[in-house]
Copies of this chain bind each other. A is one copy, B any other.
Amino acid sequence: MALTWSRKRMSVRFKNRILVFGGRAMPKVTDAHLEARRQQILDAATECFARKGFHRSTMHDICQMAELSPGAVYRYFQSKDEIIEAMEEQGRQHSAAVIDAVTSERTETLDVLEGLVDVFFSKLEDVRDCAVHIELWAEALSNPKIKQTVVRIDESIRNAFIQRIVSAAQHRGEINAALDPDAVARVMMAFWDGLVLQKTLDPEVDIWKYVAVMKAMIGGTFWQKTEAGRS
């Protein structure tokens, strides 16, 4: 796999946002310190949501898990909704950065898709993250603000897929041009969402056997008996 990322690299991406917080007459602390605290809260919230579910977790639980006072936590986030929004935004930035990096690094479409699959699916090794996704989907059903965030971020990732990969590949005659680009992007996201679910229900599921099937379906080696007699 060509790409890796770390929490540390993410912090740089949030620098501008942190500087905004810094402008509100807060004590003089370094950006790195602020970002570390913020990440500490997001990590604690992830742990809480995965253990108790989003609905049952309280801000108090999150403070305890983060080992921070309510004052320290509320300085960054006023509510669970704000924490969720930050988590989703972090996910979106992660995804956008990965798509950027892979599409600028590789030229062949199947090679690009392979790169994206390797990065996105490796993340599923962390079943805790998978559980938080499912909590979020359920929360979106009854919480319009969360739903709006989830939909907006899904859309932005889907559009990145469509523009950078699907439409371009259709234009070059690689992906069947009769297919709706939005639907292609949706199926690609479903591969991931579907495995998030299965991995949560059974952490033993082999990600890479699943990925092999997906790659075969995308690359045309799944079905071996066509009119052309390809095998």
CB-CB < 8 A to A182: which residues of B? 209
Which of B135, B210, B220 is close to A223, meaning CB atoms less than 8 Å apart? B220
Tell yes or no: A230 within 8 A of B by CB: yes
CB-CB < 8 A to A221: which residues of B? 176
Task: Select the residue from A131, A190, A191 with max chain B CB neighbours within 10 A.
Answer: A190
**Are B220 and A218 in touch, CB under 8 angstroms?**
no
Complex Cα–Cα for A140 and B135 (A): 10
Complex Cα–Cα for A216 and B182 (A): 15
A215-231 interface mask toward B, CB cutoff 8 Å, 1 = contact, 0 = none? 01111111111101011
What copy number does this chain have within its complex?
2
**Are A195 and B186 in touch, CB under 8 angstroms?**
yes
CB-CB < 8 A to A230: which residues of B? 220, 226, 228, 230
Tell yes or no: A81 within 8 A of B by CB: no
Contact size range, A: 35 or more
Expressed in whole angstroms, the minimum distance between the Cβ of A126 and any Cβ of chain B is: 15
**Are B201 and A150 in touch, CB under 8 angstroms?**
yes
CB-CB < 8 A to A140: which residues of B? 200-201
Tell yes or no: A154 within 8 A of B by CB: yes
Tell yes or no: A107 within 8 A of B by CB: no
**Are A213 and B187 in touch, CB under 8 angstroms?**
yes
Complex Cα–Cα for A78 and B200 (A): 28
Tell yes or no: A111 within 8 A of B by CB: no
Complex Cα–Cα for A186 and B53 (A): 25
Add 6 more A-B contacts to A53-B138, A174-B223, A176-B216 (CB < 8 A). A55-B55, A135-B141, A179-B209, A186-B194, A193-B194, A218-B223
CB pairs A–B below 8 angstroms (16 shown): A53-B138, A53-B142, A110-B223, A134-B141, A141-B200, A173-B225, A179-B216, A182-B209, A183-B209, A187-B217, A190-B190, A190-B194, A192-B194, A220-B223, A220-B226, A228-B230
A residues within 8 Å of B by Cβ?
50, 52-53, 55-56, 110, 131, 134-135, 137-138, 140-142, 147, 150-151, 154, 172-176, 178-180, 182-184, 186-187, 189-195, 197-198, 200-202, 205-206, 209-210, 212-214, 216-226, 228, 230-231
